[in-house]
Structure 1
Amino acid sequence: MNNRNSQKVLIVAPFAFGYTAHIKNALDKFANIEANILYLDKPSFEYRNNFHKARNFISKIFGKNLKKTFVFDRVKKDVSALAKQNIIFVIRPDLLNDDTLKFLKNKTEKFIAYYYDSTRRFPRKVDIIPFFDTIYSYDKLDVNTYSFEFLTNYIFDESKNKSPKYLFFNISTNDYRFPLIETLAGYFKRKNWSYNIQVYNGSDMPAEHVKIITTQKSITEVSELIKASKIIVEIQRTEQVGLSFRIFEALGHRKKLITTNKDIVNYDFYSPQNILVVDEHDIKIPDEFVNSPYVEIEDSILTKYKIEHWVKAIFNP
C-alpha cells in the first residue's frame, strides 16, 4: 500500500538500452518515493507495484518516430491516469513538442530535466529551457552558458574481474567515428594486442579490423563484455565535452580506459595509470599503460558518481 505522504515521481525518458531504468530502480529503494517511469519509445508504463497495472490501457505498439502525434497523445493519456506529481523528471525533453511539455508542467509541482546530450547536438534543447524549474546537464559548456546544474552520468553496475579475456573493448553504433575506431583496431592488431571491438549497423558492411554486428546488444550483454576486458575504449563525440556512460561503466567495473575526451583529466577520479587520453590524429598507446595494473579509486570518490548519490542530488528523497 502506498504511503499517503510519499513523494510522487514520474520519469519520462527514452528506454536508452536500459540506462534510464536504473533511475527508477534506485528511487524504488526509498520508502517515501512512489516512482513511475514512462518510456517514450515503449508502449506503456513500468509500475512500482501491481496496483496500477490495471489502469494501463495502452496496448498498441508504436514505431520509432517520436515526432508522431500519437506518441504525444499517449504521453498525455498515460499521465492523465495518474494523480498530480510532486516531480516530473524528463530526459530528452526535446523529443516532445511544446504542447506536451506544457501539459506535463501542469501535472506536477516541480518540472525537472536532465540533458544527457549537449545543446550543440540537439539545438531544440535551448528553445525549451523556459519550461523547466531546474535543468541538469553533464556538459560543462552548456552549464556555463545556460546556468544549468552540473551533474555527470552515473555508475549503475559494479564488479571486480581480475581475469580479462582480452585487452581492449569497445562497442558503438556506426557513425562518423567509425574510421577512428577502425584505425584504433588496426593499431591494436599491429601491436599484437587482443581486442573485442564491435560496431552496430543495421546491415552488414565492410570492415577491415572491427566486427560488424547487426543486432544491438542489451545493457546486460554489454556489461558482460566489459567484465571480460582489461581496458575500455571510448571515442568522444565531437559535439560534447561531457562524460559518456562508457566512462562510468569503466569506473564501476574497475577497468582502465582509453579515451579521446581531454576534459577527463579535470575529474577527481582521474589517474594516469588508469586513464589514457589519446590524440585521435596521432595515436600513441604506451606499453607501460597497457601492461600496468588498475589502481583502485578511493570509495569516497567513487561514491559521488554512483546512481544512489545521483538520485539524491535530483530528488532529495
Structure 2
Amino acid sequence: MFNYVILGSEDEIYKYAFNDLNGLDNVIYVSGCKPSKCTLKGFLYRTHFRPELNEKIRIPGKSIWNHFYFKDTLSKNNKYCFIFLANFAMFAKQSRYHQYLRRKYPDCKIVLFLTDIFARQTELFTHEKWKIEKERALYDLIISYDKSDCQKYGFTYHHTVFSSNFILPDLNVEESDVYFVAKYKGRLQRVIELYDLLSSFGLRCDFYIYKCPSDMKVERPGISYIEKPISYAENLVRTIKTKFLLEIMQNNADGYTYRTWEAIAFKKKLITNNKSIIDAPFYNPKLIYVVNDYCDLKDGIAAFIQDNNTVDFNYTKEMSPVALLEFIDSKFR
C-alpha cells in the first residue's frame, strides 16, 4: 500500500467526490494548487501565474512554489503515489513539479486521472492541445474515465469516483419530479424535446442550463437559463429533492458522469442518453432508462416513470475513491 497524495482541484465537486478519503492515515487530498487569496503568498502566486502576463512573456522561477503544494505528514515507511487531476497537472507542468517529485521521492509513482475527455485538455498559457507523447513521459500510469479515449490512446480505464457520506447545507429548495443541470454545449434541442415529453406526463421539471447563447434560448416554465453556475452543494440538495435525474451526455463522451453517481448515491432513477451504460455492472432497466430515439419515447418513459420500484443500485462501495486507490495499488504490485 502506498502513501497517496491526490493533487486535486478547487472545484467544489471534487470535495464531495473524494470525501470518503477523509481520515485515512495514508492519504492527503490537496484541493488545488493555489494558496488562499487572502494571504500574501496567494497574491504572489496568482501574480506569478497570471495568464495576461505569461501569455506575453513567460515569467521564470515558478519552481519556487513546488515545496508549498502540500505538507507531508505521512508515514515514511510507505512509498508514495501522486495522483494528478488535470487542473492541477496544468499548473504543475509550468513549474516542472513532476520532475521535482521524482527527485524528492525517487521510488514514487505518478498517475494522471482524467475525468474529462483528452481532447478537451489544454496547456495553461498557450492553450495548445495536450500532446499524448509528452503526457506519457510524465506519468507511470494514465487513467481515463472515457472508454473511447482508452482505446484510442492506450490509457487504463477506471470510472470517475464519488463518495456517499457527507454533510450537506440546509437549503430551502422546492421538491421536483425531474432535475437536470448542465452547461449548454450544443445540446439544448434534446433537452427541450425531453422537457416537453416529461412535462406532458404532468411531471414538474427543475432544469438549469448554464451559458446558453441568447439566440438559442427556448422558454419553458421549468427551465432556468443561468450565467453563473449553481454551487455543487445546491446541486446535491436539488438531487435529494427530486425523483428522477436527467442526463444528456456531450457528443463523443463515453463514460459514467457525476450525474450517474449522484443517482446511485441518493437512490434516484436515471434517464440518460448514455447508451454504453447498459454494459455497466450497476445497470438495471427498472432504474435506468436509456434514451435511444427521441421521436419514439412516449410509451417507454411512461412505463418507466410510473413504475414504483425501490431504488437501490448496490454500488456505493465500487464507486468510492477508496476503490480507485485499491485499483491503482493493484497496477503497481
Q: Output the TM-score relative to the length of structure 2.
A: 0.74
Letter matched to residue 165 of structure 1:
E
Give the equivalent residue in structure 2 for 1:3.
Answer: none
> Kindly, what percent of the aligned residue pairs are identical?
16
- The reply to whether residue 293 of structure 1 matches residue 293 of structure 2 is no
Matches within 5 A, 1:16-165: 16=11, 18-22=12-16, 25-33=19-27, 35-40=28-33, 43-44=34-35, 57-60=41-44, 62=46, 69=54, 76-81=63-68, 86-92=80-86, 95-96=90-91, 97=93, 100=96, 102-106=98-102, 107-108=104-105, 109-122=108-121, 124=130, 126-127=132-133, 128-157=135-164, 165=175
Letter matched to residue 91 of structure 1:
L
Task: Give, in whole Å, the separation in 2 of the partners of 1:203 and 1:74.
Answer: 40
- Greater alpha carbon shift after TM alignment, 129-138 vs 173-182: 173-182
Work out which of the residue numbers 154, 176, 191 in structure 2 matches 1:181.
191
Matches within 5 A, 1:195-214: 195-201=205-211, 206-209=217-220, 210-214=223-227
8 Å CA contact 1:172, 1:200 repeated in 2:
yes
Matches within 5 A, 1:244-283: 244-279=257-292, 281-282=294-295
Give the match's secondary structure for 1:199.
strand
Work out which of the residue numbers 5, 22, 39 in structure 2 matches 1:10.
5
Work out which of the residue numbers 194, 197, 204 in structure 1 matches 2:204.
194
Letter matched to residue 193 of structure 2:
T
- The reply to whether residue 241 of structure 1 matches residue 254 of structure 2 is yes
- Greater alpha carbon shift after TM alignment, 181-190 vs 80-89: 80-89
Which structure has more strand as a fraction of its residues?
1
Distance apart, 1:180 and its partner CA: 1.7
Letter matched to residue 168 of structure 1:
V
8 Å CA contact 2:4, 2:26 repeated in 1:
no
Return 5+ residue gaps in structure 1 as ranges: 1-5, 46-53
Give the equivalent residue in structure 1 for 2:321.
Answer: 307
Distance apart, 1:238 and its partner CA: 1.0
Letter matched to residue 304 of structure 1:
E
Q: How far does the alpha carbon of each residue in 1:77-102 deviate from its partner, in whole angstroms, 9 at most, with x for none? A: 44323578822211116634476354
**Root-mean-square deviation (CA), in Å?**
3.7
Task: Give, in whole Å, the separation in 1 of the partners of 2:297 and 2:218.
Answer: 22
Distance apart, 1:268 and its partner CA: 1.2
Give the match's secondary structure for 2:137.
helix
Task: Give, in whole Å, the separation in 1 of the partners of 2:145 and 2:179.
Answer: 24
8 Å CA contact 2:268, 2:311 repeated in 1:
no
- Greater alpha carbon shift after TM alignment, 93-102 vs 128-137: 93-102
Distance apart, 1:259 and its partner CA: 0.5
8 Å CA contact 2:269, 2:311 repeated in 1:
no
Distance apart, 1:62 and its partner CA: 4.0
Aligned length: 294
Give the match's secondary structure for 1:198.
strand
Task: Give, in whole Å, the separation in 2 of the partners of 1:271 and 1:235.
Answer: 18
Give the equivalent residue in structure 2 for 1:224.
Answer: 237
Give the match's secondary structure for 2:249.
coil
8 Å CA contact 2:5, 2:81 repeated in 1:
yes
Task: Give, in whole Å, the separation in 2 of the partners of 1:74 and 1:217.
Answer: 37
- Greater alpha carbon shift after TM alignment, 258-267 vs 99-108: 99-108
8 Å CA contact 1:13, 1:39 repeated in 2:
yes
Q: How far does the alpha carbon of each residue in 1:21-61 deviate from its partner, in whole angstroms, 9 at most, with x for none? A: 2466433321233x141515xx327xxxxxxxx9x933458
